[in-house]
Chain A
């Protein structure tokens, strides 16, 4: 018998019992839907984490000043630590072999004004290397250039949020904004960035879109320190050549800084890539658990198919006997029932794929869980549903094929 005939016969058998076929499919439908939904949750979490760490740079080591109270600051200064300095940045670049670039940054919380509007903002003094190290891009204009830096020009680059609230639809380029008592010319606007919702190590969560960037030279010249004990810079971002050199470079940086800071632990080192790996490892267990639940529901779906198929074989004993008497071989009967089981699981699988996609969109729409469906997960779910159909359809089909024609034809 030709394959298409087998398929047609099987589909007919399913259509004869639409409701029963649908009920049988339910297990597979939910199984496939849950596999897709679970994988999409896992993938969503992964992508969120990667995006978060990508902002910090996967090849970067971040040296950040610890938040210290005034009393603590006095104590470390008394023990000769000058705090993080531009000199630290220079030394790291000179001594650590794998370092590609360093970017020191000074920070300050300020009121930024434009006309009668004002906003709280983090003003960041940076070097031109900054944009090379972090994957920041400008929406319009340029970033702080070597020329701005070398000549301590009174220019700034605005975060997307700030530019939007000050200038809405107009171009911000060439406009003047006032930071504290200094007028700065806007030379660029950053692309919008995802809002940091989690604290990473020593890096507090905040909205990067409200930042204002200006040359570190200008920053040091134009803005007085609020507190004389404050260190020169807040952060040094170090980019190494490859991510497998992160750990050893970090160790070297630590020993250099410990020497320069006279063993005062007034800084901390964050390696985003290591945090990412760690987070991934933690998530893996969670993913395995989700996967196992989904797999169990698929198997339960398969058992459902087997159950119904066994009953169906019993019910159709006479039909099988008739088919055998007029010339069906064992394998014809076998393929008829296997194809029937596979047809159930394929149909269930397809419905399950649709349901799974809808489910995962709904999850990201109605909850704050991010989901992302990768095409391969659809194929995996579908492939397994077919596999379940074949494996759980096999036994009933074998029973059907092995029925004795003489006895089954007389079966009432």
Chain B
């Protein structure tokens, strides 16, 4: 069991009002699962993602990551956790604009304290993995949206994290590039990575193997997803 969430509650205080973003979440995710967490805006899926990503801690309940209770960790330990175990992929890529692809991908390794030579080697490897071997010296502004997201995926992969956490990864891309990214995710999953996809689009969630729907801070449904032929075809076509 990689992730185990028990009776998780998250409250926010907004002004004078207390908002219950997550009410009672129970969830387990195994290694090498490919899960989509779906829900409309305001459903609490972003809050859940923040907690899964160790960016936030629960108000009540337990979040065990690889048998470590995340809610008891200090800020520094949370940082280390994010660094080692979580690979974030954001909707708007969140690359550092002044750095080239290689430097962006090296960044998590720098915070992990890995020596420069090894950092470089691993970053090159990660960029090659996402098919950007020829774009290492390019800055984000010199890359297309799809290429930027690939750099972001390389950055997420480079530390060999426990989970890849993708928040609306195709949200800023056109549908063709979106499919390319989803095909890449599919490959990563087949290579043994654990993927968690946060999205409000059914179409994107369909690429995963398990769909969890959230409404009003509660899990509404949690089902295995048998991919349609249509999705398989799209992935197949992209692979060429």
What is the interface of chain A, defined by CB distance below 8 A to chain B? 1-2, 5, 12, 16, 318-319, 321-332, 405-406, 409
Contact indicator B155/A327 (Cβ below 8 Å): no
Contact indicator A327/B55 (Cβ below 8 Å): no
CB of B239 within 8 Å of the partner chain = no
Give the distance to chain B from A191, nearest Cβ to Cβ, in Å: 63
- Chain B residues near A328: list those with CB within 8 A: 79, 111
Contact indicator A330/B82 (Cβ below 8 Å): no
In whole angstroms, what is the CA distance A327 to B85 when docked?
10
Query: DSSP class of A's interface residues: helix, strand, loop or mixed?
Result: helix
Assuming the contacts A1-B113, A2-B113, A406-B56, asked whether A329 and B108 have C-beta atoms less than 8 A apart, the reply is: no
Contact indicator B155/A329 (Cβ below 8 Å): no
Contact indicator A405/B55 (Cβ below 8 Å): yes
Give the contacts of B68-124 with A (CB-CB under 8 A): 75-76, 79-80, 82-84, 88, 90, 94-96, 98, 107-108, 110-113
Contact indicator A329/B80 (Cβ below 8 Å): yes
CB<8 Å pairs between A and B, sample of 29:
A1-B110, A2-B113, A12-B98, A16-B98, A322-B94, A322-B96, A323-B107, A323-B111, A324-B79, A325-B82, A325-B88, A325-B94, A326-B82, A326-B88, A326-B107, A326-B111, A327-B79, A327-B83, A327-B84, A327-B108, A328-B111, A329-B76, A329-B79, A330-B75, A330-B76, A331-B76, A332-B79, A406-B55, A409-B94
Give the distance to chain A from B35, nearest Cβ to Cβ, in Å: 20
Using A321-B94, A406-B50 as known contacts, list a sample of 10 further A-B pairs with CB atoms less than 8 Å apart, ordered by residue number in A: A2-B113, A322-B94, A324-B82, A326-B111, A327-B79, A327-B111, A327-B159, A329-B75, A330-B75, A332-B111
- Chain B residues near A406: list those with CB within 8 A: 50, 55-56
CB of B217 within 8 Å of the partner chain = no
- Chain B residues near A2: list those with CB within 8 A: 113
CB of B44 within 8 Å of the partner chain = no
In whole angstroms, what is the CA distance A284 to B5 when docked?
72
Give the distance to chain A from B99, nearest Cβ to Cβ, in Å: 8
- Chain A residues near B76: list those with CB within 8 A: 329-331
Give the distance to chain B from A349, nearest Cβ to Cβ, in Å: 26
Residue of A nearest to B155 (CB): A326
8 nearest A-B residue pairs (beta carbon): A327-B83, A327-B111, A329-B79, A326-B108, A322-B94, A329-B76, A406-B55, A327-B82
Contact indicator A325/B111 (Cβ below 8 Å): no
In whole angstroms, what is the CA distance A267 to B24 when docked?
105
Which residue of the partner chain, among B55, B75, B110, B113, contacts A325 with CB atoms under 8 Å?
Answer: B55
In whole angstroms, what is the CA distance A261 to B221 when docked?
121
Q: How many chain B residues touch A (Cβ–Cβ < 8 Å)?
A: 25
In whole angstroms, what is the CA distance A328 to B159 when docked?
13
- Chain A residues near B53: list those with CB within 8 A: 325
Which residue of the partner chain, among A1, A16, A319, contacts B111 with CB atoms under 8 Å?
Answer: A1
In whole angstroms, what is the CA distance A326 to B94 when docked?
11
In whole angstroms, what is the CA distance A16 to B76 when docked?
29
In whole angstroms, what is the CA distance A2 to B80 when docked?
15
- Chain A residues near B155: list those with CB within 8 A: 326
Give the distance to chain A from B93, nearest Cβ to Cβ, in Å: 10
Residue of B nearest to A4 (CB): B116
In whole angstroms, what is the CA distance A363 to B88 when docked?
60
Residue of A nearest to B103 (CB): A12
Of A16, A321, A322, A330, which is in contact with the most chain B CB atoms at under 10 Å from its CB?
Answer: A322
- Chain A residues near B110: list those with CB within 8 A: 1, 5
In whole angstroms, what is the CA distance A179 to B143 when docked?
96
- Chain B residues near A405: list those with CB within 8 A: 55
Give the distance to chain A from B14, nearest Cβ to Cβ, in Å: 13
- Chain B residues near A323: list those with CB within 8 A: 96, 107, 111
Give the contacts of B12-66 with A (CB-CB under 8 A): 50, 53, 55-56
- Chain B residues near A330: list those with CB within 8 A: 75-76, 79
- Chain B residues near A5: list those with CB within 8 A: 110
Residue of B nearest to A318 (CB): B94
Give the distance to chain B from A330, nearest Cβ to Cβ, in Å: 6
In whole angstroms, what is the CA distance A323 to B110 when docked?
11
- Chain A residues near B111: list those with CB within 8 A: 1, 323, 326-329, 332
In whole angstroms, what is the CA distance A406 to B50 when docked?
7
- Chain B residues near A321: list those with CB within 8 A: 94
In whole angstroms, what is the CA distance A12 to B99 when docked?
10
In whole angstroms, what is the CA distance A26 to B123 when docked?
39
Give the distance to chain B from A399, nearest Cβ to Cβ, in Å: 16
- Chain A residues near B108: list those with CB within 8 A: 326-327
Residue of B nearest to A405 (CB): B55
Of A5, A319, A322, A326, which is in contact with the most chain B CB atoms at under 10 Å from its CB?
Answer: A326
Residue of A nearest to B87 (CB): A326
In whole angstroms, what is the CA distance A275 to B177 when docked?
88
Give the distance to chain B from A410, nearest Cβ to Cβ, in Å: 9
In whole angstroms, what is the CA distance A328 to B79 when docked?
6
In whole angstroms, what is the CA distance A326 to B112 when docked?
10
Of B82, B90, B110, which is in contact with the most chain A CB atoms at under 10 Å from its CB?
Answer: B110
Residue of B nearest to A9 (CB): B110
Residue of A nearest to B76 (CB): A329
Assuming the contacts A2-B113, A330-B75, A406-B56, asked whether A319 and B96 have C-beta atoms less than 8 A apart, the reply is: yes
In whole angstroms, what is the CA distance A323 to B106 when docked?
12
Residue of B nearest to A329 (CB): B79
Give the distance to chain B from A192, nearest Cβ to Cβ, in Å: 62
- Chain A residues near B94: list those with CB within 8 A: 318, 321-322, 325, 409
In whole angstroms, what is the CA distance A321 to B94 when docked?
9
- Chain B residues near A12: list those with CB within 8 A: 98
